[in-house]
């Protein structure tokens, strides 16, 4: 039988495995297998040539027992409701493992932003808020950027929401540009949090990070900042990077600044002169110390897991590893820092952004870094300790910590 690659079925399977370890009571387990509510929307948008195009979008609010739902918005041509459901579930576990007072949600629009003009993207973003705005709010559900959405898109959405409510509501969305109430340190927060986790993992594994090699799949927000911060914070050497067009490999080390400049000028990494061209599949199997998947789901599967060589897998992307691959990696002694822990820096600084919006006073970047570091290190060690106590892999340990907290909140509210 071929491996299941539907992200939501994978998310449910992971929860089922954790529920068995925790001996979660059946009603609670069933409640946590499903989103609490979801909204499907159809969005007519006037295109630049005068025609109208009809788009479809979603917002899923998975569980709000610990606080307002929170989670990014994706613009992607292959977006599906099941991907959004999975991402919303993982957001629920992510806010819980970080112990921040939020639930989990996610949204998406099926579209190809690469072929849309800024005007078309703005009209699509505003149309989405006109439909979904009725279930958003700083105390209800707070979106943020994700794949192919940007601070500019967050600004248009916040503005449209302000018109609906009749007054400014900066806390309705995070990842905003700084002049509109964004937080210092939000831009690189996902990668920074991931690098703090790598630092803690290296301590446990007695791995010297200075000069250790890292390969990064995906060169957007998470991937580019990881390429810069890995060397800056930990002394890592960037051996390979890739984007949707292909990748580049140079075991002697690639210059992050040169890679970013090249991608900015040509639109992709393909043809970067200071290394050898490699495919995304080859990048995953390189002999490096650290592998950071920072693109999309289902990259490490039963098919390629046995060929992965990296000692540490730092999952900046959501859902890059399938359950069958997890078993192979754990059996092979690889140290996986699971997605909803490793990439939780983004939502953590988004939460800081909400706090700053609520009291109208803004922190310095150094303060944000310090608070993020403390939160990431605490969550990392809670998961590592649980993995040790239960003799389970880190993903299951993260589930045990997170599901335990969400389950407790559901029970205290009297839901089950
Ligand atoms: P982004 O849109 O900024 O970048 C995505 C990158 O992935 C691009 O470089 C793109 O070329 C590349 N890509 C797309 N398809 C690919 C493929 N098949 N192979 C290789 N590369 C491919 O997105 P992002 O915000 O960096 O998000 C990347 C991952 O990190 C996603 O899984 C996202 O859910 C996760 N994440 C992001 C944040 C955040 O704050 N931005 C927070 C948590 C998790």
Whichever domain contains 304, its CATH number is 3.40.50.720
Q: 244 CB under 6 A from ligand 1? A: yes
How many CA atoms lie within 13 Å of 360's alpha carbon, on the beta-carbon side?
A: 2
Give the distance (Å) from ligand 1 centre to CA of residue 316. Answer: 8
Residue 237 lies in a domain: yes
Confidence of residue 5 (pLDDT cuts 50, 70, 90): confident
- Tell me which residue range forms the domain holding 323: 189-342
Residues 194 and 338 in one domain: yes
Q: What is the pLDDT of residue 380?
A: 98
Q: Are residues 109 and 220 in the same domain?
A: no
* 3 confidence band (pLDDT: 50, 70, 90): confident
Enumerate helices (H) and strands (E) in the chain, giving the number of each: 14, 12
Query: The CATH number of the domain where 41 resides is what?
Result: 3.40.50.10860
Q: Are residues 150 and 283 in the same domain?
A: no
Q: Does 71 map to a domain?
A: yes
Domain-embedded: residue 202: yes
Nearest CA to ligand 1 atom 35: 317
Q: Are residues 269 and 149 in the same domain?
A: no
- Residue 23 in tokens: 């001996």
Mutate to test the pocket of ligand 1, among 143, 147, 191 (most ligand atoms within 8 A of CB): 147
Q: How far is the CA of 106 from the centre of ligand 1 (A)?
A: 15
Same structural domain, 168 and 264: no
296 close to ligand 1 (CB < 6 Angstrom): yes
Q: Which two tokens stand for residue 234?
A: 């930990």
* C-alpha 95 – ligand 1 centre gap (Å): 19
Among 342, 364, 383, the domain boundary falls at 342
Q: Which of 13, 70, 94, 106 is catalytic?
A: 106
Give the separation between CA 3 and CA 67, rounded to whole angstroms. Answer: 35
Q: Is residue 112 in a domain?
A: yes
Verify that 247 and 267 share a domain, yes or no.
yes
C-alpha to C-alpha distance for 291 and 336, rounded to whole angstroms: 10
DSSP letter, residue 107: E
Q: What is the tens place of the pLDDT at every residue in 36-68?
A: 999 999 999 999 999 999 999 999 999 999 999
Does residue 338 have its Cβ closer than 6 Å to ligand 1? no
For residue 106, indicate whether it is catalytic.
yes
Q: Kindly state the average pLDDT of the residues 148-174.
A: 97
Same-domain check for residues 200 and 76:
no
Give the β-pairing of 52-63 and 290-293.
unpaired
Q: How many domains does the chain have?
A: 2
Residues 227, 136 share a domain? no
Res 4: pLDDT: 78
190: three-class secondary structure by DSSP: helix
pLDDT in tens, 280-323: 999 999 999 999 999 999 999 999 999 999 999 999 999 999 99
Sequence-distant (6+) residues with CB within 8 A of 166 are none
Residue nearest to atom 27 of ligand 1 (CA): 147
* Ligand 1 pocket, residue 386 CB under 6 Å: no
**Same domain? 175 vs 39:** yes
Is the pLDDT assigned to residue 1 strictly greater than 70?
Answer: no
* Residue 155 to residues 122, 125, 176, Cα–Cα distance (Å): 10, 10, 6
pTM above 0.85, yes or no: yes
pLDDT for the residue 81: 98
Residues 274 and 214 in one domain: yes
Q: What are the tens digits of pLDDT across the range 178-212?
A: 999 999 999 999 999 999 999 999 999 999 999 99
């Amino acid at each position: 039988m071929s491996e299941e690659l539907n992200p939501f079925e994978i998310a449910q399977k992971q929860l089922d495995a954790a529920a068995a370890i925790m001996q979660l009571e059946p009603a609670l387990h069933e409640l946590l297998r499903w989103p609490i509510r979801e909204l499907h929307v159809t969005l007519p948008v006037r295109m630049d040539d005068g025609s109208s195009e009809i788009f479809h979008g979603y917002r899923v609010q998975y569980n709000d027992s610990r606080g307002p739902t929170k989670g990014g918005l994706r613009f992607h041509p292959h977006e599906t409701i099941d991907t959004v459901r999975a991402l919303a579930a993982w957001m629920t576990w992510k806010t819980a493992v970080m112990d921040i007072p939020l639930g989990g949600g996610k949204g998406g629009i099926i579209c190809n932003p690469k072929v849309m003009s800024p005007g078309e993207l703005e009209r699509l973003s505003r149309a989405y808020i006109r439909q979904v705005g009725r279930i958003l709010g700083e105390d209800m559900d707070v979106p943020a950027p994700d794949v192919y959405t940007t601070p500019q898109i967050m600004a248009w959405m916040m503005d449209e929401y302000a018109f609906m409510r009749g007054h400014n509501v900066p806390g309705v969305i995070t990842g905003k540009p700084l002049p509109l109430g964004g937080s210092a340190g939000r831009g690189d927060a996902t990668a920074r949090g991931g690098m703090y986790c790598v630092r803690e993992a290296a301590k446990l594994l007695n791995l010297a990070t200075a000069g250790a090699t890292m390969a990064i799949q995906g060169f957007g927000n998470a991937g580019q900042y990881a390429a810069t911060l890995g060397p800056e914070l930990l002394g890592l050497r960037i051996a390979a990077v890739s984007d949707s067009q292909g990748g580049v490999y140079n075991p002697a080390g690639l210059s992050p600044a040169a890679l970013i400049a090249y991608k900015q000028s040509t639109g992709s990494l393909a043809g970067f002169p200071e290394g050898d061209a490699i495919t995304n599949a080859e990048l995953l199997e390189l002999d490096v110390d650290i592998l950071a998947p920072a693109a999309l789901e289902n990259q490490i599967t039963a098919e390629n897991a046995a060929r992965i060589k990296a000692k540490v897998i730092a999952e900046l992307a959501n859902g890059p590893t399938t359950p069958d691959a997890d078993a192979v990696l754990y059996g092979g002694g690889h140290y996986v820092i699971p997605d909803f822990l490793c990439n939780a820096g983004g939502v953590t600084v988004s939460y800081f952004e909400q706090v700053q919006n609520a009291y109208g006073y803004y922190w310095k970047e150094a303060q944000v870094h310090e608070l993020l570091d403390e939160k990431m290190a605490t969550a990392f060690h809670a998961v590592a300790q649980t993995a040790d106590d239960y003799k389970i892999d880190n993903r299951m340990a993260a589930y045990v910590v997170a599901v335990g907290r969400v389950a407790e909140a559901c029970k205290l509210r009297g839901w089950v």
